[in-house]
Amino acid sequence: MTRFLYLTLRTVLAAGLCGLASRAIALGEEESPPKATAVPFSISTADSVTAPELGAMPTPGTIQHPLTNVSEEDQLKQYQTQLELGREQRRQKSGDMAQATLSELLKSDAPNEIKRLALFELALVAQDQEKFVRAEQIFGQYLQVYPDDPSVPEVLLRQGLIYRQMGVNSMAVSKFYAVMSSALKLRLDNMDYYKKIVLQAEIEVADTYYQEGHYEEAVEYFNRLLKARDPELDRAQTQFKLVHALTHMSNYDETVAQAQNYLKLYTNGADVAEVRFSLASAQEKLGHNNDAMKQVLILLQSQQDNVKKNPEAWVYWQRRAGNEIADQLFKEGDYFNALQIYLALADLDKSAAWQMPVWYQTALVYEQLQQWAKAIEQYDRILARQKELTGDAATPALASLGEMAKWREDYIQWLQKARLTQQTFVLTKNTNSTSSTTP
């Protein structure tokens, strides 16, 4: 049913719903909806999104009220001023004051349109204060009183986001689907805006499954979004989430394909480092060790423009990729590829606290390759920098590392002497044997 609804909605929206006029629901500070070329909006509980713009207001007259001696026009202005006061109090995070102002307005004789906007603002106050149950109740009341209002899709979208924050994900998904169905029932007066509302609902459905860990469903919806080719979609972010979900599913073949596609399309994307890590991990799991090693080396060498954009993220993924992939290759006996990564990993940070553990792993690789002199060289480098470990850097783990390096260096030297002694003994024995058999 949901798939049928989704496809029906896409068909109706694609057709353009010809003949629609322009009546905007503002998502900014009383601004008109974003143009079609803008990035799709993202509603959060903390933003300053306002209720729909004033619709057809009552035409003010000049009749004097006998009790108040105030004209309808002046009284309408007072109600509008009170509404704006409540909005401004909410923006200034004065939730209790905003609630009092808006509640008083709802009890007044204000026109229905003013009360509608006040009720919407009151729900936003509760949402901003993270009083989620109250916000849901007010939004629910809004939908009962104004079931045919053009703001219904946005209200449903907000309800879905609140339910997700409350951890009631099944209700959240239900509300997101309701956004799509409501767009079919209402008379849509601003096509571009409502297309963005529907797109946002589709994204939230995918994200809800993604956040729940239901990666198979999430992958289906991310693929659906990407295939739709909506120009308002943040395709790089959607592609990244698709790669992440596939990684969690252990679908390594598809992870490699989608990660390579991301790196091809978004070379300067915000998530390039993590995507490259996911690609290298998937390749290693598939036994493509050379490819995995190459991806890690590319990641470790990317220290120019990309790193400057988000240095903390890049350092994290560089170190994690280097350590995890190299360690796994070492365990599998792929010492050559592991060695290439360890050598590059050591150059990421020149501090003793970083380089000493990497050098230790490098020395172990050299031992496995029986390159004893290079192994001893790495252990000597560790011992030479122990004096730099002061203050917070002087951890028990690093102190123990120095002891282990000294023990392994002594062991290698003992082993080399033992082998030399054995070789001498065998050579002497063979020489004596040859002499005794000579006539």
pLDDT tens, residue by residue, 318-332: 999 999 999 999 999
Structure tokens belonging to residue 416: 């080399």
Cα–Cα distance measured from residue 50 to residue 44, given in angstroms and rounded to the nearest whole number: 12
| Residue 92, H or E segment | none
**N residues, the chain:** 439
Cα–Cα distance measured from residue 122 to residue 102, given in angstroms and rounded to the nearest whole number: 6
240: CATH = 1.25.40.10
Structure tokens belonging to residue 77: 């202005």
The pLDDT confidence band at residue 261, using thresholds 50, 70 and 90, is: very high
Provide the pLDDT for residue 398.
84
Residue 20 has a CB neighbour count (10 Å cut-off) of 14
- Average pLDDT of every residue of the chain: 81
Residue at 269 is within a domain: yes
Q: Quick one: how far is CA 114 from the chain centroid? A: 39
Identify the domain containing residue 308 by its residue range: 234-348
Q: Are residues 343 and 238 in the same domain?
A: yes
Residue 439, pLDDT above cutoff 70: no
Q: Are residues 344 and 393 in the same domain?
A: no
DSSP 231: T
DSSP 96-159: HHHHHHHHHHHHTT--HHHHHHHHHHHHHHHHHTT-HHHHHHHHHHHHHH-TT-TTHHHHHHHH
Structure tokens belonging to residue 151: 């703001």
Q: Are residues 337 and 375 in the same domain?
A: no
Cα dihedral 344, 345, 350, 356 sign:
negative
Q: Are residues 387 and 324 in the same domain?
A: no
Structure tokens belonging to residue 230: 């909506």
Q: Are residues 339 and 377 in the same domain?
A: no
Query: Which of 327, 348, 369 is where one domain is finished?
Result: 348
The residue ranking higher by pLDDT, 377 or 186, is: 377
| Residue 84, H or E segment | helix 72-91
Is 50 exposed, middle or buried (CB count within 10 Å of its CB: 0-12, 13-18, 19+)?
buried
Stretch 53-70: mean pLDDT:
39
Q: Are residues 245 and 339 in the same domain?
A: yes
Residue at 260 is within a domain: yes
Q: Are residues 284 and 386 in the same domain?
A: no
Q: Are residues 298 and 397 in the same domain?
A: no
User: Global pTM?
Assistant: 0.72
Q: Are 314 and 277 spatial neighbours (Cβ–Cβ below 8 Å)?
A: no
Q: Are residues 308 and 384 in the same domain?
A: no
Q: Are residues 325 and 372 in the same domain?
A: no
Query: Which of 317, 348, 379 is where one domain is finished?
Result: 348
Cα–Cα distance measured from residue 144 to residue 122, given in angstroms and rounded to the nearest whole number: 15
| Locus of tokens 């198979």 | 216
* Window from 240-244, 277-281, 407-411 with minimum mean pLDDT: 407-411
The percentage of the chain sitting over the pLDDT mark of 90, rounded to a whole number, equals: 60
Nearest to 326 by CA among 335, 338, 316: 338
Residue at 72 is within a domain: no
Provide the pLDDT for residue 33.
31
Structure tokens belonging to residue 189: 């007066």
Residue 43, pLDDT above cutoff 60: no
Cα–Cα distance measured from residue 336 to residue 59, given in angstroms and rounded to the nearest whole number: 83
Residue at 29 is within a domain: no
Interval 199-236: pLDDT, tens = 999 999 999 999 999 999 999 999 999 999 899 999 99
Residue at 124 is within a domain: no
Q: Are residues 304 and 388 in the same domain?
A: no
Residue at 78 is within a domain: no
Residue 161, pLDDT above cutoff 90: yes
Query: Which of 348, 374, 401 is where one domain is finished?
Result: 348
Residue at 425 is within a domain: yes
Number of domains composing the chain: 2
Q: Are 289 and 337 spatial neighbours (Cβ–Cβ below 8 Å)?
A: yes
Residue at 54 is within a domain: no
Rounded to 5°, angle at Cα 139 from 79 and 199? 110
Q: Are residues 343 and 366 in the same domain?
A: no
